[in-house]
């Protein structure tokens, strides 16, 4: 995983976990990788993964079953989408609008590229 400098690593890890859940790779009510396993996979300090998991617990996306591990909540997909949508609309979209305005990019061009992106990356949907 390539980490971006402008965002805390634990938030990027939380986003990664959210993506796995949203894509159905980690289904509802199923166990997710342990803190240690995910830390090894992502080559980060386990404390960073703990912080990401705590963040997701606070958002009711995952829960900790003591002695067993972390599990995906039943309504995790909806919670992730709700959080990500609000974050995107309030933070990312204004920056996107600014960029397309300054670069004089036509909305039709954006729509065409969006359709191509979806076709190339998410053909099953």
**Domain map (residue ranges) of the chain:** 9-75, 77-121
Q: What is the pTM of this model?
A: 0.79
R_g of the chain computed on alpha carbons: 17
The conformational region for residue 121 under phi > 0 = left, psi -120 to 50 = alpha, else beta, is alpha
Tokens 């829960």 locate to: 63
Considering the four listed CATH numbers 3.30.70.100, 2.40.30.10, 1.10.10.10, 3.40.50.720, the one that applies to the domain covering 9-75 is 1.10.10.10
The pLDDT of 48-71, averaged and rounded, is 97
Q: Report in angstroms the alpha-carbon separations of 119 from 14, 113, 114.
A: 26, 10, 9
pLDDT of residue 21: 97
pLDDT of residue 27: 96
Residue 104 CA to residue 19 CA, distance in Å, equals 31
- At 6-58, the pLDDT tens digits run 899 999 999 999 999 999 999 999 999 999 999 999 999 999 999 999 999 99
Which tokens is 106 given?
A: 């036509």
CB 32 within 8 A of CB 69: yes
Which of 27, 11, 24, 37 has the alpha carbon at shortest distance from 62?
A: 27
Which of 21, 13, 18, 57 has the alpha carbon at shortest distance from 37?
A: 13
Q: Is the pLDDT of residue 66 over 80?
A: yes
């Amino acid at each position: 995983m390539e980490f971006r400098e402008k965002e805390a690593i634990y938030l990027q890890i939380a986003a990664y976990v959210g993506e796995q859940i949203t894509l159905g790779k980690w289904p509802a009510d199923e166990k997710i990788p342990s803190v240690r396993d995910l830390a090894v996979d992502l080559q980060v300090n386990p404390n960073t993964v703990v912080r990401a998991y705590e963040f997701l617990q606070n958002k009711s996306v995952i829960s900790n079953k003591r002695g067993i591990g972390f599990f995906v909540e039943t309504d995790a997909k909806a919670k992730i989408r709700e959080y990500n949508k609000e974050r995107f609309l309030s933070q990312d979209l204004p920056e996107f609008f600014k960029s397309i305005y300054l670069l004089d990019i036509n909305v039709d061009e954006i729509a065409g590229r969006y359709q191509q992106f979806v076709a190339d990356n998410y053909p099953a949907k």
